Amino acid sequence: MARVVLKLGDDISTDIIYPGRFMATVLPTETPQYAFADFPEFNARLKSGQIPPGSVVVAGKNFGCGSSREQAASTLKGHELVIVARNFARIFLQNAINLGLRLVVCPEIEAEEGDELEILPDKIINRTSGKVFKVEPLPRARQAIIDAGGLIPYTRQRLLEKVAARKRA
């Protein structure tokens, strides 16, 4: 079971998730401090450890639109948040998968802050409202990356295969 800790609307841009003025900070170990920096109260709760890993942010359409900044994914990954949205913008979705941030595409999701969600592979059960919502699979093109635990281990694996193939040839 996972609790909804933040509810957002449509078109949440990467400028809202990780404001541009913090872009000089790049390392995944350092970006989590600026997550949702322009929501000072929520940011303070994240930083003080009041939000347990696995907590859910619920959003509408086009979550993560805008800039390709990977900080927007690493900042959320740093807090092990789960993002449930009606859909995601392409680059953000890919960055999230590459870094192992958990995203759930749920086109009809209805949930309020404080609701308890049970997230299953094919559906979300809102235990507070009793409603059930269908989950759409992530792009199949990305499955190999998810299975490898992210793009860095996947690339490493592919690189070693390439080197081995070259040696054989």
Partner 1 sequence: MGLTMVEKILARATGQKKVKAGQVVEPKVSLAMSHENAALVINQFLEVYKDTGLKPRVWDPDKIAIILDHRVPAESSKTATNQKKIREFVAAQKIKKFHDIRGDEGGICHQILPESGYVLPGTVVVGTDSHTTSHGALGAFSFGIGATEMASVWALGRVLNVEVPGTIKVVAKGRFPRHVLPKDFILYLIGLITAEGANFKVLEYHGPAIESMDTSGRLTVCNMSVEAGATSGIVPPDKETLRYLREEARVKGKIEIFGPDPDAEYERVVEIDVSKLEPMVACPHTVDNVKPVGQVGKVKVDQIVIGSCTNGRLDDLAVAARILKGKKVAKGVRMLVFPASFRIYQRALKLGYIADLVKAGAVIMNPGCGCCLGVHQGALGDGEVALSTTNRNFKGRMGNPKADVYLCSPAVAAASALTGYITDPRKGGK
Q: Which residues bind partner 1 (CB under 8 A)?
A: 11, 13, 15-16, 19-21, 23-27, 38, 61-62, 65-70, 73, 87, 89-91, 94-95, 98-99, 139-142, 144-145, 150-152, 154-156, 158-160, 162-163
Measured from the CB of residue 14, what is the shortest distance to partner 1 in angstroms?
Answer: 8
Measured from the CB of residue 15, what is the shortest distance to partner 1 in angstroms?
Answer: 4
- CB nearer to partner 1: pick between 112 and 147: 147
Please state the φ and ψ torsions of residue 68, each to the nearest 5 degrees.
-85, 5
Measured from the CB of residue 69, what is the shortest distance to partner 1 in angstroms?
Answer: 7
- CB nearer to partner 1: pick between 27 and 169: 27
- CB nearer to partner 1: pick between 132 and 152: 152
Distance CA 149, CA 52 (A): 22
- CB nearer to partner 1: pick between 50 and 68: 68
- What are the residues facing 95 on neighbouring strands? none
Measured from the CB of residue 132, what is the shortest distance to partner 1 in angstroms?
Answer: 25
Measured from the CB of residue 139, what is the shortest distance to partner 1 in angstroms?
Answer: 6
- CB nearer to partner 1: pick between 95 and 126: 95
DSSP labels for 46-94? Answer: HHTT-S-TT-EEEE-SSBTBS---THHHHHHHTTT-EEEES-B-HHHHH
